[in-house]
Structure 1
Amino acid sequence: MSTARQMSLGLSMRYHGYHVAAWRHPDYVPGCNVDFSAYRDVARHAEAEKLDMIFFADGVAVRGTDTPEGALSHDMKNAELEPLTLLSAIAACTSDIGLVATASTTYNEPYHVARKYASLDHISGGRAGWNVVTSWSDQEALNFNRTENLAREERYARAAEFVDVVKGLWRSWEADAFTHDKAGGQFYDPAKLHVLNHKGPFFQVRGPLNSCRTPQGEPVIVQAGASNQGRDIAARHAHVVYSVSQTVEHAREFYADLKARAAGMGRTGAAPLIMPGITLYVGATQEEAQAKFDTLQALIDPLAGLALLYTFCGDLSGHDVDGPVPFDALPQGGIISIGAGLLAEAKAGNLTIRQLYERVAAGFTGRFLIGTPESIVDDMQMWFETGAADGFNICPPMLAQGMQDMSDYILPELRRRGLFRTDYPGTTLRETLGLA
């Protein structure tokens, strides 16, 4: 195996495809987004190709306002499997690949999260990862006895304390606390039990966690969020950061900032690993790749396209979709960081509303590439070798085809250049990621 630095690669599997029109493609199997066997088969394929991890984002609501009217009924993002339940089932069908899922710090309690992810780590033999996010949508608030979401500052302050509590609970027991001394009658050594007794602004949690120390010591922590508060949480706690950068210049700035913040907090080593999201349209030729892209783009329903823009543009249904983006009429406050970057791109390119929602749909707000294996891997290698990424979170436009394209085109080219492994280096996710 090569000893040179190699990429980390994750596969995002939510919705069985990230393109907004994937469900309309002739090859998409209706109902696969709630079909365990479909996810199991893709996970096994990803493991056979030695990917670091599979990843499920999550939200605890149908996150949409049906604006423009009728948009929700044209969107596939309204029925899915709860990710920890799903990953526990996948854990029993796999042996090496990392299993990462989102759990929000806004609408969970720390004890629940600590216990569930510790259990997944035990079930999987040390492959669990928790993606830390705050919830931003009012639709989620309405499902948890609230009429609107928490304010940004409160959400992030709660999240920072939440992660501290979870990590404290994971450290309730030392690794050798459970003696199982049958002759002496002692099940655990009380000197190796540590009761948390946390009392803070948001949480009072006594502990201990009713789970022994996990195979990894603690599950891997992943973070996704580009705000200043999110970056601080990532720098302090995260082992992996999923980022969204449209340009290599922005990616390098983000990469350097996160590494510097982590170092400033006394962290050493490579963590946090930065893995920008990327959607790939790849073919044996440029024409073949373009045809794959064009087929999906032609299936975008305008209602679904406008709904994609609603979060950061508001309702644009009263404007000509083939006219310019009405920047002066857009909401000026509360635009999420992803939206701000896309709007800057739209202004720079003088995009129409249709062109903007097509741009958003193609990469599900993230970056996308269309090309041959050589051209795409050229781009990935440039990011990897110039301080923009430690690897990538692959967000395929459609599964299982997206994983097959990785297997047929991208991974052979990465391996030919010595940029990706041919086997797992160990049995835990930490070992796979090269973490202490």
Structure 2
Amino acid sequence: MSHTSNQDQLLEWLSGQYAEQTEYLQAVDEIVNDIMPVANVHDDYKKCDVVRRLCVPERIIQFSVQWMNDNNEIEIHRGWRVQHNGLIGPYKGGLRFHPTVNESILKFLAFEQTFKNALTGLPMGGAKGGSDFNPKGRSNNEIMRFCQAFMGELQRHIGSHTDVPAGDINVSSREIGFLYGEYRRIHNQFEGTLTGKDISFGGSHVRTEATGFGLIYMLEAVLAEHDEQLEGKCVGVSGAGNVALHAALKAVTKNAIVVSLSNSRGCLIKKDGFSESDIRWAIENNASYNNVLTALADESSADAVWQENKKPWGQTMDICLPCATQNELDENDATQLKDNGVKYVLEGANMPCTSEAQRVFADARIPFVPGKASNAGGVALSGLEMAQNATFSRDSWEALDNELQSIMQHIHQQCVEEGKDGDFIHYAKGANIAAFRRLADAMVAQGV
């Protein structure tokens, strides 16, 4: 394969090696489509074969996690760490514990994370990891023992200047605490090797809220760019986890009307909008219920309606915020949203909109902001937590929240500069190109 290979040849080369890794190939296809024209007019990028090298992870670590459950039975799970790219800083990205975790999903997440981290302006490379272990229904002791066994393997490959994992789906402050405790015992060092830690041992204010709050700060920047404001807008949110609930909370406190939340079993619709107390109740009680949304329907009022096995995208809304999981919003959903007059779509999850859905929004000239830009608030705060750990300091809530807002505005500005096309802004294209330039320049500067 020559250095000047075009997009089709690159994708054919990758598909030949990873044909079964559909999520990874989808992520590559979406980004390469935007960055290849930039690479093709830059001789240094072509000479260093930058695009192809950025698509392939630098390192994939797979290991066995062997541990004993409460019945004194040995269980064996698979664990991974995909260290995709370390050009501009230590590898950085979350850990996900979920039965669906596999190499393709982690490769796509690590690839996206590389571009997301580059957008923040902070010195962080891209990575992702996790296990097919499902913590749902497990005792606290079982989760602790699994985390300790997982870290017993992972600890060989991470460190504050090497790779700094964080949480992701099913890995919250509890799991981070168990993981960090094991790392500290093994290495006899207190260092910023994990982010998302509890505030009592090196954690940061605003980290829990950062992804959801950052999504709303990005939304405000997008609205301001279009001479609009959030107050009074009808907002549809999918998901019922950390990102969805904190995005809903921030939107409600800014007088938006949040009409939906959802999970894998259905959606909860409240047409006159959830109250701030509704959202705070869901945040506080999320871990106490098998389905916090049906519990919220009972707790809230008669006008909150639970719809079994439904998505929220049939509702009329000004703003769509998919915050659940990858490929949750498909072409039919996008068409329905378009027909119902949606004006803006911002991803709170990683790649929740399928390629076909994104095309529907693009064809209708609906501003669409991809997750690598709109949900970068979480990793941005992780970067700030790393800085605090390195200097043995703790910044105030207000200072960190202001810094988060500044970073989201910086990301928005990059998207506008690289994605503006007349009176329309291709946010996805702008995000991809801005991140690519930073990564490509670093690769050329560091040599082959």
TM-score (norm 1): 0.31
More strand by share: 2
Q: Larger relative contact order (C-alpha < 8 A, sep ≥ 6)?
A: 1
TM score, norm. by length of structure 2:
0.31
